[in-house]
Amino acid sequence: MSEFDYRAFYGTVVHSASLKEIAILEDALLVVDDCGTIVALEANVQSEEVSGRLEALNAAQSWFTELKKGQFIMPGFVDTHNHAPQWLHRGQGQGLQILEWLNQVAFHNESLFKDANHAWRVYRMVVKGMIRQGVTTASYYGSLHGEATKILADVCRDWGQRALVGKCNMARNAPDFYVDDSVEESLAVTRDCIQHIKNLDPKGELLRHVLTPRFAICCDEALLAGLGDIAQENPTMAIQTHFNESEQEKNFTMTLFPQFTNEADLYEKFHLLNERSILAHCTIMTPYETQRLQDLNCGVAHCPTSNMTVGGGFMAAHVKDFLRRGIKVGLGTDSGGGYSVSMLNAMRHALINSFARDSLDTRDGSAALTLDEAFHMATIGGARVVGFGDEVGDFAVGKQFDALLVDVTHTSGGITAPLEEADTLRTILEKFIMTGDDRNITQVYVRGRLIHSC
């Protein structure tokens, strides 16, 4: 074994022990092998014991980082719902209803990705910007263009980000300049994108395709049926779509599919609702639909920032109820639908959104999230939603090291609330989550490889 095949970190390590508890490990030794796999994590190791522990792991020669107070290692963020082609028009069209926003803002901007040069230019900004925000795994909607979608996958591979990438399927209810030429063409381009991504990463270790019907409004029965066939042909492939995003969207969907009374039955009929489904928003849910998501082990991509800015009203999803039922829930930034690609903002807004839900419901605190739950959704919860939960999301031995080195000391240049000598490790973490920004994220690792530092 050559020199520096291992990475070792000694100091504070933070990850989600459960939905209810953030584990904060003091004087922890975390060791990663040359494949990016976590081979050891032990807390309360005395400084004089570190070298002996490393020798016992055959890791005496390693890249060694000793963390000071105000620095800690945590899992990378998982963004379960992001529209990559909306990077340039984030924040535009605030206050519009969702369908008006799509027609007045989103569709035109997404149509520009017909130009491969535009796609290369923007997608490099997207992936680099997301990594800088600490997003080590993202589930991306591409545009409807096959070439641009393949470019997005290429850029994720080149920058080392773990990602799901999908060609957006759209056959109707969009401008003529931004719909697939036909159902047959839409499905053929989808299959081509699937093959391209398999060629890039045959084992799907970092890069995977995700089936992406935009939502039923943009897909007729033939397209949904064709995508359902592809889903059945690929029994491990993820599926993402928008689900019960707003009253306007839901009502229009039901007029287009009058044979159904709810979106759960609609997507299930076309084999698009199962344990691989990543359902964005889920804000207007009936008890029946919530039960179907629970029964089918679907995942929810909660996007609180966009739900509070674009769409028509303050759409506060019943996230606490989802979690109480054991439904998988992660956080998404939603890109253009909101205004921020910061997962820290997504965590803060998830808390605010839940407080509003509590006020609308029982007013007894039962709908309010805790900081521990928000952290869980941003890390291991999101990893489970997008199908990477066995590989990443926490620091269990045997998992891959997707991680952030966070620095909330004054030297990082962030706006974090200043540290005090008496601050506990929990206080330091809370200051980062509630007042920190990307400047506090000084290193980003995916599978043990350093992909960003500042």
Q: Per-residue pLDDT tens for 188-220?
A: 999 999 999 999 999 999 999 999 999 999 999
Same domain, 322 and 375: yes
Same domain, 208 and 274: yes
Q: Is the pLDDT of residue 265 over 90?
A: yes
Same domain, 82 and 47: no
CA gyration radius for the chain?
Answer: 22
Check residue 415 and give its pLDDT.
Answer: 80
- Tokens 């706006």 belong to residue: 415
Are the beta carbons of 208 and 198 closer than 8 angstroms?
Answer: no
Same domain, 70 and 159: no
Q: What mean pLDDT value characterizes the chain?
A: 95
d(CA 415, CA 429): 14
Mean pLDDT score, 364-373:
94
Classified as helix, coil or strand, 335 is helix
Identify whether 1 is part of a domain: no
Last residue of a domain, one of 361, 386, 411: 386
Identify any residues that bridge with 37 across adjacent strands, giving them in sequence order. Answer: 400
The per-residue pLDDT for range 101-134, each reduced to its tens digit, is 999 999 999 999 999 999 999 999 999 999 999 9
Q: Give the H or E element holding residue 77.
A: strand 77-83
Identify whether 152 is part of a domain: yes
Identify whether 285 is part of a domain: yes
Mean pLDDT score, 217-231:
98
Classified as helix, coil or strand, 406 is strand
Same domain, 176 and 324: yes
Check residue 1 and give its pLDDT.
Answer: 34
Identify any residues that bridge with 135 across adjacent strands, giving them in sequence order. Answer: 77
CATH number of the structural domain spanning residue 249: 3.20.20.140
Same domain, 222 and 302: yes
Same domain, 33 and 169: no
Q: Is the pLDDT of residue 260 over 60?
A: yes
Mean pLDDT score, 368-386:
98
Identify whether 27 is part of a domain: yes
Mean pLDDT score, 247-254:
94
71's tokens: 């620095």
Tell me which residue range forms the domain holding 44.
6-75+395-453
Check residue 96 and give its pLDDT.
Answer: 87
94's tokens: 């605030």
Portion of the chain with pLDDT greater than 90, in percent: 89
Q: Is the pLDDT of residue 331 over 60?
A: yes
Identify whether 215 is part of a domain: yes
Same domain, 53 and 82: no
Q: Is the pLDDT of residue 48 over 70?
A: yes
Last residue of a domain, one of 369, 386, 403: 386
Mean pLDDT score, 179-192:
98
Same domain, 310 and 448: no
Check residue 313 and give its pLDDT.
Answer: 61
Query: Which ranges constitute the DSSP H helices of 112-241?
Result: 116-132, 146-159, 183-200, 221-233
Check residue 338 and give its pLDDT.
Answer: 83
Identify whether 430 is part of a domain: yes
Q: Is the pLDDT of residue 84 over 90?
A: yes
Portion of the chain with pLDDT greater than 70, in percent: 98
Side-chain half-sphere exposure of 360, counting CA atoms within 13 A: 11
Mean pLDDT score, 281-310:
95
Same domain, 71 and 83: no
Same domain, 49 and 89: no
**Number of domain units in the chain:** 2
Check residue 337 and give its pLDDT.
Answer: 83
CATH number of the structural domain spanning residue 24: 2.30.40.10
Are the beta carbons of 271 and 231 closer than 8 angstroms?
Answer: yes
Mean pLDDT score, 73-97:
95
Check residue 309 and give its pLDDT.
Answer: 86
Identify whether 29 is part of a domain: yes
Same domain, 99 and 81: yes
Last residue of a domain, one of 335, 369, 386: 386
- What's the Cα-to-Cα distance from 69 to each of 420, 423, 437, rounded to whole Å? 11, 10, 18
Are the beta carbons of 43 and 60 closer than 8 angstroms?
Answer: no
Identify any residues that bridge with 305 across adjacent strands, giving them in sequence order. Answer: none
Mean pLDDT score, 47-76:
96
